[in-house]
């Protein structure tokens, strides 16, 4: 029986994690829940699962992790505000089932230095797929990682044709519903750029050896290519309950958590190269990832500001990444400490807002 704390329990990851717990009460018990602001749903969840310890807000989530003993903590918080809870989980010694990619990306080496070997288990479907595939060989036998991308709602479009994209169109993802910022990031491929940085930090593979391929069916979640020429892929219907369950039970699998593929029905899986001209986000993400220090934090923070401005009608769709690139170009690295990261984020948000005000 694993004792589980869910951070961000009212969001998509948290709700699906509770589905897994409800289906497997012999494997998991929830000992703590936290939410950002939805007190009513948090109270309902606590009553339904008999959870005594709850928290509302980031500071309270950190205190919850520090005060309540758990075997695994699922960090399903959205955005870089998840960094402090991530550090608290690592300091507690619990396994961190990490869905909050931003905390690893902006925290970088700060997070890696705090983590014990094997303490972080990825929950993103792509990184969960890589973690599974890596069990097929030694790390020294890895040639490259291949992250798959659905291509989002604008796959196949030219850069010029994206100029008049509306917020409603950007939110019409063909596979996933992940909230305003993440769904928009998936349409710009910024989300895939963030995942490239995350893959580098999680698996210590050089950026030159991390590729992205467009796979619109979202069945193959990512792949690992080995030095002997073999490629190991993890395939399953798109359902986040599978990687969430692995995050909570790692390295064990939870029976019946997902529906397997139907091999009696004809299907076609396609893979296409990423169009870096129409979607330059991955190249920019690799640039800031290689720079390290506080550049990834600036990249992420500027993007969040630009995405909100786009949805508020203050900047066009192409202006999202144009703003991010200009903020990144203006940045001078600060110290890779928690205070340094937070200051870099503050500066990036102010710099982005100033640029957006002139749009």
Residue 9 resides in a domain = yes
Q: What is the CATH number of the domain that holds 79?
A: 3.40.50.720
Q: Is the dihedral of CA 24, 26, 28, 30 positive or negative?
A: positive
Are 230 and 167 members of one domain? Answer: yes
Instruction: Count other C-beta atoms under 10 Å from residue 47's C-beta.
Output: 9
Count the domains in the chain.
Answer: 3
In whole angstroms, what is the distance from residue 293 CA to residue 122 CA? 22
Whether 233 and 245 map to the same domain: the answer is: no
Does residue 232 sit in the same domain as residue 298? no
Domain match, 118 and 141 both: no
Looking at the structure, tell me whether residues 173 and 274 fall in a common domain.
yes
User: Are 24 and 77 in a shared domain?
Assistant: yes
For residues 130 and 56, membership in a common domain is answered with: no
Indicate left, alpha or beta for 92 from its phi (over 0: left) and psi (-120 to 50: alpha).
alpha
Average pLDDT of the chain to the nearest whole number: 95
Is 270's pLDDT higher than 80?
Answer: yes
pTM of the complete model = 0.94
Strand-pairing partners, residue 149, are 214
Same domain, 21 and 78: yes
Tens digits of residue pLDDT in 81-126: 999 999 999 999 999 999 999 899 999 989 999 999 999 999 999 9
On whether both 105 and 157 belong to a single domain, the answer is no
Residues 244 and 227 in one domain: no
Q: What is the pLDDT of residues 302-341, one digit of tens each?
A: 999 999 999 999 999 999 999 999 999 999 988 888 899 9
Q: Which domain holds residue 104?
A: 2-123+240-249
Compute the distance between CA of residue 301 and CA of residue 161 in angstroms, rounded to an integer.
26
Percentage, residues of the chain above pLDDT 70: 99
Asked if 25 and 61 sit in the same domain, the reply is yes
The per-residue pLDDT for range 5-14, each reduced to its tens digit, is 999 999 999 9
Q: Residue 254: inside a domain, yes or no?
A: no
Q: Is the pLDDT of residue 176 over 70?
A: no
Roughly how many angstroms between the first and final C-alpha of the chain, as a whole number?
Answer: 54
What is the mean predicted confidence (pLDDT) over 256-272?
95
């Amino acid at each position: 029986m694993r004792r589980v704390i869910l951070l961000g329990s009212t969001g998509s990851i948290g709700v699906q994690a509770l589905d897994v717990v409800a289906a497997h009460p012999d494997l998991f018990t929830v000992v703590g829940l936290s939410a950002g602001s939805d007190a009513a749903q948090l109270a309902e969840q606590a009553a339904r699962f008999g959870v005594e310890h709850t928290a509302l807000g980031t500071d309270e989530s950190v205190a919850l992790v520090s005060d309540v003993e758990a075997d695994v903590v699922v960090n399903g918080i959205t955005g870089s505000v998840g960094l402090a809870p991530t550090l608290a989980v690592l300091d507690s010694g619990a396994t961190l089932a990490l869905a909050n990619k931003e905390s690893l990306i902006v925290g970088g080496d700060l997070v890696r230095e705090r983590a014990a070997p094997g303490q972080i288990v990825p929950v993103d479907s792509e990184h969960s797929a890589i973690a599974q595939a890596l069990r097929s060989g030694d790390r020294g036998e890895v040639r490259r990682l291949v992250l798959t991308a659905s291509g989002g709602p604008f796959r196949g479009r030219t850069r010029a044709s994206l100029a008049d994209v509306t917020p409603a169109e950007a939110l019409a993802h063909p596979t996933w519903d992940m909230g305003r910022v993440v769904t928009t990031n998936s349409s710009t491929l910024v989300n895939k750029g963030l995942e490239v940085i995350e893959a580098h930090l999680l698996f210590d593979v050089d950026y030159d050896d991390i590729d992205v391929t467009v796979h619109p069916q979202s069945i193959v979640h990512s792949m690992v290519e080995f030095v002997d020429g073999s490629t190991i892929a993890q395939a399953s219907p798109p359902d986040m309950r599978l990687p969430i369950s692995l995050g909570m039970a790692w390295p064990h699998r939870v029976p019946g958590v997902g529906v397997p593929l139907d091999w009696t029905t004809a299907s076609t899986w396609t893979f296409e190269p990423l169009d870096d001209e129409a979607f330059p986000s991955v190249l920019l993400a690799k640039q800031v990832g290689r720079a390290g220090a506080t550049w990834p934090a600036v990249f992420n923070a500027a993007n969040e500001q630009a995405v909100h401005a786009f949805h508020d009608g203050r900047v066009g769709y192409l202006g999202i990444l144009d703003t991010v690139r200009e903020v990144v170009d203006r940045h001078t690295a600060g110290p890779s400490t928690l205070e340094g990261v937070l200051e870099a984020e503050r500066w990036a948000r102010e710099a982005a807002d100033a640029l957006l005000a002139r749009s």
